[in-house]
Chain A
Amino acid sequence: MPKAILYDSTLCIGCKACEGACAERWGLPYNDKVAAEEHISAHKLTAIETHGDKFSRRLCMNCLQPACASVCPVGALQKTALGPVVYDASRCMGCRYCMQACPFQVPSYEWDKRLPKMRKCDMCFERQSAGKLTACAEACPVGATKNGNRDELAAEAQQRIAEKPGQYYPKVYGLKEVGGTSVLYLSGVPFEQIGLRTNVPGEPLPETTWRVLELVPDVVSTGTVLLGGIWWITNRRTEVSRKEGRR
């Protein structure tokens, strides 16, 4: 059963307990200075953003069909059956195509290190594999971040909208975006007002490149025959004319 995170912006009080728990889980330093940063980076894999009197949370969306995993030339990124998109730093060669490809601009890079790695949230893969909640969901004091099975959380999100239609913008972000994500958002205002990208395509991004890549065998086979054939004809023509010329 694939896991997911449901973040309800209307419940979030901006206490940043999720940020602290996340930093602890990754062994990253967390202090007032880091807490004040409202964007994700290589040393802060989730961040609470303030949009007027609304809060929003940034973290890796762990897409159902992740662009990052499809573009990685060395397969360092993998979508697990459990839901998280995990990263194997020992494979990564640092081409940063995952960062370019991510429609949510999530992957961060350790720019100042001599042997850098990419960093991003992996929805607490080991914790969830062990049957535990993600660190952020466990730390959230008000239930704004909830961790569970994706279809149950999706149903719950729809139900919350149905129960309090006045309080919610009537859509769940993450159900359809780029073919669906493992992080779902509820908001009281249109999503772009809490900093979410609403121009992302509805289709899974890996298909945009796969449509072309799957033609490679055709190009190779047709091309070989075509080029070989043309060479044979032109070469034969020269041979014949040379022999006739000699006669």
Chain B
Amino acid sequence: MPRKFPKITVWRAIFAAIMLSGAYATFLRVMYGLGGSTNLSDKFPWGIWIGFDVMCGVGLAAGGFTLVAMVHIFNVEQYKPVLRPAVLTAFLGYTLVVVGLLYDLGRPDRLWHPLVMWNPHSVMFEVAWCVTLYSTVLFLEFLPVVFEKFGLHRPLAWIHRISVPLMILGVLLSTLHQSSLGTLFLIVPEKLYPLWYTPILPLLFYVSAIGVGLAMTIFESWHSSRAFGRALELPLLASMARVLAVVMSVYLWIRFLDMSHRHVFSLLARNRIETWLFFLEIALVLVPTVLLYQHRIRMQPGKLYACAVMVVFGFIANRLNVGITGLEAGSGVHYVPRWSEVAVTLSIVAAGFAIFHVIAKYFPIFEPEAHAQSAPEMAKKEADLVAIE
């Protein structure tokens, strides 16, 4: 008898539970406003919808511009197989950031206001414009996939003609707003804890976004190889992990120099929650960075994946520290997100995974050669590679 309903698995059940709680939280947000759905207050106006959904969302989508720059501008052809998934992640990421904003803005119906009401002195204004333009660029960068799928050769040729200026524009816009998310917090020197407040926040945000973009690419390649049973592009990912290690080393080095110039190392002796969160954040970046310098670790899919995940979590910890926890003492408020805030955030993440899965399944996202390879073959290949060492 043919199966009428999709099979119930643990993951699908979790997904359904998250989406249901998200739907109820959405109802609360719409009916009772921010007061009825969040733990925000006058002294703590930004919670996880900004700290995670926007700040982490934009950063985790940075793989799009990093890989476009590497493949099409620096001409590192080798990375081409992971370009499309990275662009897709970026496009989805930005779309979901806008969804997050619709929850967080007091007047989501006025999302378009910055486009017509200008204040060039505002960082938020710059971010709004960059994100809008870059989402458009990402849409255009993703369009060839759709055209290919439906065999539309004429528009495909047309879009190829404008692709280089488009890609340069995309990289520029990303450079601007990835760093500007850090600039946002330069206005609160007396509120943000000195372990995080530094005039070079924009630079730190930019460098760490490049790093996490690479880490996310490794992360999603690993997941899609499992989900679709295709070969993992191991040599490619290992070489990318090497770049990741270098980028994160640069990042850590800049942070070290900055802290020594600002004479804040003595703060690390204080037994405060900020100190521990700082150590956590640094460890989550430092450990994988050191590990990824070793060929042996880079060439083992599991360990490579674990390192990428650590970098992603280190990045998230950093953005949450800057956007939320580092501001608590200075604001004199203890903020814990309400369940409905968490539910919405989880729903957005879950929706991201699900939409990625569906698009990757039905559109030519991964290289056809890779699709052809079967899972057992892939496992054998990996075993061979490990054996080589």
In the bound assembly, the distance between CA atoms of A42 and B122 in angstroms comes to: 24
A235 at the interface (CB under 8 A from B): yes
Known: A73-B119, A73-B125, A105-B43. A199 touches B172 (CB 8 A): no
In the bound assembly, the distance between CA atoms of A114 and B29 in angstroms comes to: 9
Residue of A nearest to B201 (CB): A212
A136 at the interface (CB under 8 A from B): no
**What B residues does A223 contact at CB under 8 A?**
171-172, 175
CB–CB B110/A92 < 8 A: yes
* Interface-facing stretch out of A23-31, A94-102, A124-132, A147-155: A94-102
A206 at the interface (CB under 8 A from B): yes
Which one of A94, A101, A227 lies within 8 Å of B106 (CB-CB)?
A94
**What A residues does B187 contact at CB under 8 A?**
67, 70-71, 100-101, 205-206, 208-209
**What A residues does B179 contact at CB under 8 A?**
212
Which one of B30, B34, B175 lies within 8 Å of A219 (CB-CB)?
B175
- A: contact size bracket: 35 or more
CB–CB A200/B190 < 8 A: yes
Known: A234-B73, A234-B74. A116 touches B33 (CB 8 A): yes
CB–CB A94/B75 < 8 A: no
Which one of B33, B124, B168, B191 lies within 8 Å of A112 (CB-CB)?
B33
CB–CB A235/B75 < 8 A: yes
In the bound assembly, the distance between CA atoms of A107 and B171 in angstroms comes to: 36
Count of chain B residues with a beta carbon within 8 Å of a chain A beta carbon: 59
Residue of A nearest to B327 (CB): A100
Shortest distance between the CB of B250 and any CB in chain A (Å): 18
B186 at the interface (CB under 8 A from A): yes
A21-75 residues at the B interface, CB under 8 angstroms: 40-42, 67, 70-75
Which one of B35, B113, B168, B331 lies within 8 Å of A231 (CB-CB)?
B168
A246 at the interface (CB under 8 A from B): no
B342 at the interface (CB under 8 A from A): no
In the bound assembly, the distance between CA atoms of A230 and B74 in angstroms comes to: 7
**What A residues does B191 contact at CB under 8 A?**
103
CB–CB A103/B176 < 8 A: no
CB–CB B33/A111 < 8 A: yes
Which one of A74, A94, A201, A212 lies within 8 Å of B119 (CB-CB)?
A74
CB–CB A96/B175 < 8 A: no
Known: A99-B42, A100-B45, A112-B35. A220 touches B73 (CB 8 A): no
Give the 9 A-B CB pairs with smallest separation, nearest first. Answer: A94-B106, A111-B35, A234-B75, A93-B110, A73-B124, A99-B45, A112-B35, A96-B45, A73-B125
A residues in contact (CB < 8 Å) with B: 40-42, 67, 70-76, 91-97, 99-101, 103, 105, 107-109, 111-117, 197, 199-201, 205-206, 208-213, 216, 219-220, 223-224, 227-228, 230-231, 234-235, 237-238
B residues in contact (CB < 8 Å) with A: 30-36, 40-43, 45-46, 69, 72-75, 104-108, 110-111, 113-114, 117-128, 164, 168, 171-172, 175-176, 179-180, 183-184, 186-191, 199, 202, 327, 331
Query: Can you give 18 A-B contacts (C-beta < 8 A)?
Result: A71-B187, A73-B125, A74-B117, A74-B119, A91-B113, A93-B108, A93-B114, A95-B105, A100-B45, A100-B187, A101-B187, A105-B331, A112-B32, A213-B123, A213-B183, A231-B75, A231-B164, A234-B73
